Amino acid sequence: MTEPAEAPATLLVVEDEADIRRLETFVLEAEGYRVLTADNGADALRIAREEKPDLILLDIIIPEPDGREVCRRLRAERNFCPILFVTARKEPTDQLDGLALGADHYVVKPFSPAYLVTLVNSALRRVKEYTDTGQPGASEGRLKLGDVELDIPAKAVLRDGEEVRLTPGEWIVLEALATHRNTVLSRELLQQRLWDAVTDEGITSRTVDMHISRLRQKLGERTGGLISTRRNFGYLLDPEPDA
């Protein structure tokens, strides 16, 4: 018996410029995705809540609420589907602010359709990898590290059962360490992970060190050195931290 074909992923395109909205819809439907659209924040929130899309392409400058507020509200509602900001705002501070709100990527206009498709495919592939069972070192995407628990699909961190709020940059670093436990990751590799997310200048090894420092503070000293430094090499997440 032939197995039923997998349903196409549903994407929500939120864009108030009709030409750009049509372009994004055309190229993504050509890739086989089901595409929903909205041209304002109110409709975007309604569709996101009703349809639960697998990924959202979200312009920042849209009729109220704007894209930043849409992202903030969805994350507050624990909607953790990938959100890619698509905007003409290209200052590094804008990009970092967008990621701090919980976005997964930041695409600056103008962009090539091929680049957009690559980002969407990559984001959806990562979600699938994290939600599939049997991933190395994870049980259905959950990792227990001393008194710290990571829920990778939900991008959530708990310490003693209480949620630890991380910025997207802190999560990117922790996720990389957690999915490569007992392996030293260089500053350069972690820097590249952050660079890929921000897609602009301003990410340096000092940025990595800053995120590591903040993670150590948020995860608590009593984890017994959950994140170790290997001098001249990088950082290591201890798979069995001391209690």
Each residue's pLDDT tens digit, 51-71: 999 999 999 999 989 999 999
Q: Is the per-residue pLDDT at 137 higher than 60?
A: no
Top mean-pLDDT range of 43-52, 73-82, 109-118: 43-52
- pLDDT of res. 195: 66
Q: Give helix 187-198 / helix 92-100 axis angle, nearest 10°.
A: 100
Q: Is the per-residue pLDDT at 135 higher than 50?
A: no
- pLDDT mean across residues, the chain: 79
Please give the share of the chain, as a percent, with pLDDT higher than 70.
78
Q: Is the per-residue pLDDT at 134 higher than 70?
A: no
- pLDDT of res. 46: 97
pLDDT band at 169 (very low <50, low <70, confident <90, very high): confident
- pLDDT of res. 240: 56
Q: What is the pTM for the complete model shown?
A: 0.60
Radius of gyration of the chain (CA): 19
- pLDDT of res. 1: 41
Q: Is the per-residue pLDDT at 224 higher than 60?
A: no
- pLDDT of res. 233: 83
